[in-house]
């Protein structure tokens, strides 16, 4: 599933049968490697992204996380990261529907709903980045002082 926000007038016009056009956002591919150290959480992943991109740096972008480090992140870790994608200004955030998603759905009694969805081999992104979870440290969000 991929969701995009829509304005009220856009939705009303679509309900009236008029076409709705959505500009295709760029896709930021974030390769995730390593393993979260003790005392480091999924929120620290987002805070690291905010350190790199700030609150407006991912506007008109889809942030897609992929890579071997995702095996270390639970479905709830992914939820935290995706939910806070809005803090980056991202249009939306996506993760693969992999074995962790299957495990989560099975635990919820919905295992039959699972479908594997992963990036194509050799998938290319408009922008590439990488986060090594092993290198992250606990972070604290703060508001930079603004000049008056």
Report the C-alpha gap between 59 and 119 in whole angstroms: 22
pLDDT at position 3, please?
A: 72
| E strand segments, 59-109 | 61-66, 92-94
Predicted confidence band at 148 (pLDDT cuts at 50, 70, 90)?
A: very low
pLDDT at position 21, please?
A: 82
Over the chain, what is the mean pLDDT? 91
| Integer CA distances (angstroms), 45 to 42, 89, 99, in order | 5, 16, 21
Examine residue 94 and state whether it is found in any structural domain, yes or no: yes
pLDDT digits (tens, 9 = 90+) for 84-98: 998 999 999 999 999
Domain harbouring 125, CATH code = 3.40.1060.10
Examine residue 11 and state whether it is found in any structural domain, yes or no: no
| Integer CA distances (angstroms), 97 to 85, 94, 116, 124, 127, in order | 18, 9, 5, 18, 21
For the chain, the domain total comes to: 1
pLDDT over threshold 60, residue 44: yes
Examine residue 109 and state whether it is found in any structural domain, yes or no: yes
pLDDT at position 12, please?
A: 93
Report the C-alpha gap between 46 and 65 in whole angstroms: 12
pLDDT over threshold 50, residue 119: yes
Q: Helix (H, G, I), strand (E, B), or coil: what is residue 100? A: helix
């Amino acid at each position: 599933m991929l969701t995009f926000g829509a304005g009220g007038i856009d939705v009303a016009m679509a309900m009236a049968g008029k076409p709705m056009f959505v500009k295709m956002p760029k896709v930021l591919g974030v390769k995730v490697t390593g393993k979260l150290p003790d005392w480091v959480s999924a929120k620290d992943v987002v805070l690291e992204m905010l350190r790199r991109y700030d609150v407006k740096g991912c506007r008109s972008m889809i942030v897609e996380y992929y890579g071997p480090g995702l095996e270390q992140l639970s479905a709830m870790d992914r939820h935290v990261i995706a939910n806070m994608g809005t803090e980056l200004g991202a249009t939306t955030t996506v993760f693969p529907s992999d074995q962790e998603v299957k495990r989560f759905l099975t635990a919820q009694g919905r295992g039959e709903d699972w479908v594997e969805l992963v990036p194509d081999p050799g998938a290319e992104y408009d922008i590439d980045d990488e986060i090594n979870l092993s290198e992250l440290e606990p972070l604290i969000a703060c508001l930079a002082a603004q000049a008056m």
